[in-house]
Amino acid sequence: MLTFIGLGLFDEKDISVKGLDAVRNADMVFLESYTSVLMGTTIEGLEELYGKKVHVLSREDVEQYPDWIRHAKDKNVVFLTGGDTMVSTTHVDLRLRARDAGIETRLIHGASIVSAICGLSGLQNYRFGKSSTIPHLYTSSRGRTIISETPYDTIKLNRENDMHTLIFLDIDREKGYMSANQAMELLLEVEKRRGDGIIDNAIAVGIARAGSPEPCVKAGYVHQLKEHDFGGPLHIVVIPATLHFIEAEALVKLAGAPPGIMGSIED
């Protein structure tokens, strides 16, 4: 049996009771921490709560060489991820590999950032379109610095369809955790090249440390919000479309948005 368990958003206490029971009854416990990280705890903190050794997997262990799943043919194995399990395509692929190998699988869900941002910001979940990820700058084989323009294109498409855009921020082993400030700067750099004018004066929402006792939720115009101190990671960014009047009120009262946004709500 291979059980996929979502750990929630922030620390070791976010796991469900059902998930905790499954971990404590497991023969082997594996954790991947490259798609999301529980910033409020450590591997040692997890092991103390679980009473189990936690084997940390690299990206390669999950995506390219998941040989460890063979243990689930005759053992009770759990695979832990931050947030809700199966949100990442990588995890779906891993489940399919297990099924193809004749391994029974089951899911135990956890709190997800996808729903948490709606609760924290007041933005309505059915208004979200396609999401995207802003990666760190990278260098091409010719030595050029490359900025991915895909997130910008996603925002533009969603705005044309009057949908909000959720922007995940890169987690890199060497470059660290991308901040909301860096993300907005990169979006503005792409806009400078394109000349579309959809980002600089747009409302954005930056959220940091969702699930913690003191999350940071701040809304404002991008050209001003990019200077805001969001504190430590993890960060995430939302670029809203036209606001429903309840959404606009929520951003003003819950996220400190300028009251002027109340004049740009949808009919």
* Tens of pLDDT, residue by residue, the chain (267 residues): 999 999 999 999 999 999 999 999 999 999 998 888 999 999 999 999 999 999 999 889 998 989 999 999 999 999 999 999 998 888 999 999 999 999 999 999 999 999 999 999 999 999 999 999 999 987 766 777 889 999 999 999 999 999 999 999 999 888 899 999 999 999 999 999 998 889 988 999 999 999 999 999 999 999 999 999 999 999 999 999 999 999 999 999 999 999 987 655 554
56 shares a domain with 168: no
Domain that holds residue 260: 114-264
Same domain, yes or no: 123 and 34: no
Q: Last residue of some domain: 60, 79, 111?
A: 111
- Same domain? For 102 and 70 the reply is yes
What was the pLDDT predicted at 267?
46
CATH number at residue 137: 3.30.950.10
17 and 55, same domain (yes or no): yes
Residue 234 preceded by cis peptide, ω within 30: yes
Per the listing, tokens 């998930």 go with 19
Instruction: Tell me how far apart the alpha carbons of residues 171 and 167 are, in angstroms, rounded to a whole number.
Output: 13
The amino acid that residue 156 corresponds to is: K
Boundary of a domain, candidates 64, 90, 111: 111
Q: Residue 209: which of 201, 218, 200 has the closest Cα?
A: 218
pLDDT value, residue 89: 86
The number of distinct structural domains making up the chain is: 2
Torsion of CA 216, 222, 226, 229, to 10 degrees: -20
106 in the same domain as 120: no
Query: Do 85 and 120 sit in the same domain of this protein?
Result: no
Could you tell me the CATH number of the domain that includes residue 102? 3.40.1010.10
Per-residue pLDDT, 88 = 84
**Which of 111, 136, 167 is the endpoint of a domain?**
111
Q: 115 phi and psi, to 5 degrees?
A: -90, -30
Identify whether the C-beta of residue 106 lies closer than 8 Å to the C-beta of residue 1. yes
108, 22 Cβ separation under 8 angstroms: yes
Instruction: Answer yes or no: pTM beyond 0.85.
Output: yes
CB 19 within 8 Å of CB 6: yes
Cβ atoms of residues 262 and 203 within 8 Å: no
Residues 158 and 30 both lie in one domain: no
CB–CB of 145/137 below 8 Å? yes
Shared-domain flag, residues 149 and 191: yes
Can you give the pLDDT at residue 139? 74
User: Does residue 136 sit in the same domain as residue 186?
Assistant: yes
Query: Alpha helix locations (H) across 101-205?
Result: 113-121, 150-160, 180-194
- 132 shares its domain with 219: yes
Q: Which of 228, 227, 222 is nearest to 199 (CA)?
A: 222
